[in-house]
Amino acid sequence: MTLAELEIAKAQSLEEVVAAADAAAVEALRVKYVGRNGSIPALIKAMKDVPKEERPMFGKAVQAWRAEVEAALQAKGFAAAEKPVDADLTMAGRWWGLGVKHPLSRVIEESAAIFGRLGFTVADGPELENKFNNFTALNTPQHHPSMDRSDTFWFGEDCLLRTQTSPVQIRAMMANKPPVRVICPGRTYRRDTTDATHSANFHQIEGLYVDTKSVSLADLKSVLAYFAKEMMGDGVTVRFRPHFFPFTEPSVEVDFTCHVCKGKGCNVCKQSGWIEVAGAGMVDPRVFEHVGYDPAEVSGYAFGFGVERIAMIKYGIQDIRWLYENDVRFLDQLA
Ligand code: PHE
């Protein structure tokens, strides 16, 4: 083959690649030109028969042909020839899409950062608990509904899926002397039928501050007011409503100012201006006795809120189930 013939063959090969109608045709052309027994490798093999003085020119032309055919094949969507794919670092990669953090992870991480600024550390505990940590130490009487099999997932007499993350606070107090300042994020379980606002498995963040200095309800309120503002934005604060929990006395339910209307009243807050987000209170002296603290010497507060609830009001999510379906069309909207 002369140089002129080579140019003609090259032009023809490129035309053929451009005209290839489908993947099979592209593959056939790859085999024909750059495959192991294709015409370009054959030319390279036959190089020794080319007169010595023409060899460099001819060699260059063959290499150029090979490069152009490979590029054309690649442009047709085919990873060129038989060389290892990773040898060509400039080759276009496949687009897998950038992931986003799940809204529940975001709320947990943001909460840990906000409380972290106030000196709280994150404590962790098992999802399978014993009766003492989940109920007894938390001053929950035997007749309390949450003790019932219809409300709690029991595994035998003394093993259950925790119904709240409060047992982590019990563990934290038993393992440390005051002051104790922790938040406990994690999964919790209750026998709930799943609907738009309920799920048998959900997440809580509970917080606990116990000190030998006197700790007051006002301290609790200021901490939650700071959290409300940092998590939901300026203009959002808290109000307390009297309530009952076995493990706190006094106990309150905590409302945030509606972050949408800033308290004026709208559809989101059912015209009330407030949204219920948490339970809280001053740690009951009985709880201190159970963990070996002297109630005469220590005082403290505890609070607990649902992560799903915060995520749903923060991001305007109407159905709790969307948080568990891992549908990227939903998750991408929160990116
Ligand atoms: N543990 C309570 C619940 O799950 C929330 C709470 C925590 C209330 C701490 C008061 C103090 O409902």
Percentage with pLDDT > 90 across the chain:
62
pLDDT by residue (tens digit) across 23-80? 888 889 999 999 999 999 998 888 888 888 888 888 899 999 999 999 888 888 754 4
Is the same domain home to 112 and 73?
Answer: no
- Is 72 within the bounds of a domain? yes
Residue nearest to atom 8 of ligand 1 (CA): 279
Query: Of all atoms in ligand 1, which is nearest to the CA of residue 188?
Result: 4
Give how many domains the chain has, as a whole number: 2
Instruction: Provide the pLDDT for residue 110.
Output: 97
| Per-residue pLDDT at 86 exceeds 70 | no
- Is 96 within the bounds of a domain? no
Contacts of 234 (CB under 8 A, 6+ apart): none
215 vs 262, higher pLDDT: 215
Is the same domain home to 154 and 270?
Answer: yes
Instruction: Provide the pLDDT for residue 80.
Output: 44
Is the same domain home to 19 and 117?
Answer: no
Of the candidates 261, 228, 245, which has an alpha carbon nearest to the alpha carbon of residue 118? Answer: 228
The CATH number that applies at residue 200 is: 3.30.930.10
Percentage with pLDDT > 70 across the chain:
96
| Per-residue pLDDT at 246 exceeds 60 | yes
Instruction: Provide the pLDDT for residue 78.
Output: 54
**Cα 303 to averaged position of ligand 1 atoms, centre (Å):** 6
- Is 320 within the bounds of a domain? yes
Distance between CA atoms of residues 300 and 208, nearest Å: 7
- Is 94 within the bounds of a domain? no
**Cα 40 to averaged position of ligand 1 atoms, centre (Å):** 76
Structural domain for 314, as ranges: 103-333
Residue nearest to atom 9 of ligand 1 (CA): 303
**Cα 216 to averaged position of ligand 1 atoms, centre (Å):** 17
Average pLDDT over residues 298-303: 98
Residue nearest to atom 12 of ligand 1 (CA): 279
Is the same domain home to 140 and 289?
Answer: yes
Name the domain boundary from 19, 50, 82: 82
- Is 285 within the bounds of a domain? yes
Of the candidates 313, 311, 206, which has an alpha carbon nearest to the alpha carbon of residue 258? Answer: 313
- Is 47 within the bounds of a domain? yes
Instruction: Provide the pLDDT for residue 84.
Output: 54
Is the same domain home to 42 and 177?
Answer: no
pLDDT by residue (tens digit) across 170-195? 999 999 999 999 999 999 999 988 88
Query: Of all atoms in ligand 1, which is nearest to the CA of residue 279?
Result: 8
**Cα 120 to averaged position of ligand 1 atoms, centre (Å):** 18
Contacts of 101 (CB under 8 A, 6+ apart): 109
> What residues line ligand 1, using a CB cutoff of 6 Å?
164, 166, 206, 245, 248, 279-281, 302-304
Residue nearest to atom 4 of ligand 1 (CA): 164
Is the same domain home to 65 and 163?
Answer: no
Instruction: Provide the pLDDT for residue 180.
Output: 97
Is the same domain home to 34 and 177?
Answer: no
Instruction: Provide the pLDDT for residue 91.
Output: 74
| Per-residue pLDDT at 303 exceeds 90 | yes
Is the same domain home to 70 and 180?
Answer: no
| Average pLDDT, rounded, for the chain | 90
Is the same domain home to 133 and 255?
Answer: yes
Average pLDDT over residues 87-112: 84
Q: Which residue has the tokens 């039928």?
A: 193
Tokens of 46: 């036959």
Is the same domain home to 75 and 131?
Answer: no
**Cα 128 to averaged position of ligand 1 atoms, centre (Å):** 18
pLDDT band at 81 (very low <50, low <70, confident <90, very high): very low
pLDDT band at 87 (very low <50, low <70, confident <90, very high): low
| Per-residue pLDDT at 161 exceeds 80 | yes
For the chain, the distance separating the N- and C-terminal CA atoms, rounded to the nearest angstrom, is 60
- Is 206 within the bounds of a domain? yes
Query: Of all atoms in ligand 1, which is nearest to the CA of residue 165?
Result: 1
Cα separations (Å) of 72 from 7, 10, 11, 19, 50?
16, 12, 12, 11, 27
Is the same domain home to 162 and 62?
Answer: no
- Is 29 within the bounds of a domain? yes
